[in-house]
């Protein structure tokens, strides 16, 4: 089985893992503790329409900041503390939800928090090709997604000894092996600096936690459910 690493668009029609670690994929993974389904959408206007139809909670950001009129922003820590009796979360983000739209494979949501769980799930689901897809930031490479992808691919390699791992994917594994350097890179990244400036520094620490949950979201028919 092949294991590859891609940017923005998947190269697999089999299994893809979307990684937007700061913060969409981390927020989605956290939200699965509280909501039975998550509906990703692609504009704030669509989110408001879905709220009218479903009565769900609307969450999301643009340029890291909560969208005006939304119930909450795109923060795993805020999601954890948010009190609601609603079972549907509607989420729109600048990058992670945007790239889900064009994925035509079995799509899982991956981050540092569920690296082992999403790796195990991908190996179980795949028949020939797992592609880990970095969301990046508006068309630009994001170091934190590369490092989180490396953590996930490292976990895939542990359970798939005969996998053919691309050199790009292997480079992500190597880059992610030093925890202190990974932590430094997260905080000093473009996204990390933006989140710190917006008052979300604690989210970075949350998103760095390895294997803190077994939640794995699967995106199918425009809805994310916990597998």
Report domain extents, the chain.
2-226
Block residue for tokens 């989180």? 148
- Least Cα distance to 31 among 50, 5, 57, 52 occurs for 57
User: CB within 8 A of 221, min separation 6: which ones?
Assistant: none
Rounded to the nearest integer, the mean pLDDT of the chain is 96
Q: How far apart are CA 84 and CA 165, in angstroms?
A: 43
Confidence band, pLDDT 50/70/90 cuts, at residue 112: very high
CATH number of 2-226: 3.90.1560.10
Give Cα 132 to chain centroid, integer Å: 11
Of 81, 80, 72, 93, give the one whose Cα is nearest residue 23: 93
Q: What is the pLDDT of residue 99?
A: 86
Phi-psi region of 169 (alpha: psi -120 to 50; beta: other; left: phi over 0): alpha
Whether the model pTM is above 0.85: yes
Q: Could you tell me the pLDDT band of residue 161, with boundaries at 50, 70 and 90?
A: confident
Helix residue ranges per DSSP H, 60-210: 76-81, 96-100, 115-125, 143-159, 167-175, 179-188, 190-197, 201-208
């Amino acid at each position: 089985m092949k294991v590859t690493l891609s940017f923005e668009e998947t190269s697999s029609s089999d299994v893809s893992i979307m990684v937007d670690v700061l913060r969409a994929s981390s927020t989605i993974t956290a939200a699965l503790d509280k909501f039975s389904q998550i509906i990703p959408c692609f504009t704030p206007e669509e989110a408001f329409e879905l709220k009218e139809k479903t009565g769900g909670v609307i969450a999301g950001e643009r340029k890291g900041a909560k969208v005006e009129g939304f119930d909450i922003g795109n923060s795993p820590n805020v999601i954890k503390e948010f009190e609601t009796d609603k079972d549907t979360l509607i989420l729109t983000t600048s990058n992670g939800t945007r790239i889900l739209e064009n994925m035509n494979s079995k799509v899982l949501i991956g981050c540092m928090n569920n690296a082992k769980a999403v790796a195990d799930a991908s190996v179980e689901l795949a028949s020939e090709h797992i592609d880990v897809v970095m969301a990046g930031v508006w068309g630009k490479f994001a170091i934190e997604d590369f490092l989180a992808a490396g953590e996930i691919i490292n976990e895939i390699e542990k359970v798939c000894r005969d996998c053919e791992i691309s050199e790009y994917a292997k480079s992500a594994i190597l880059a992610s092996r030093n925890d202190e350097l990974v932590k430094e890179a997260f905080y000093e990244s473009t996204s990390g600096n933006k989140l710190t400036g917006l008052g979300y520094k604690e989210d970075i620490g949350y998103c760095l936690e390895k294997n803190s949950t077994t939640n794995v979201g699967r995106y199918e028919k425009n809805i994310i459910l916990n597998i």
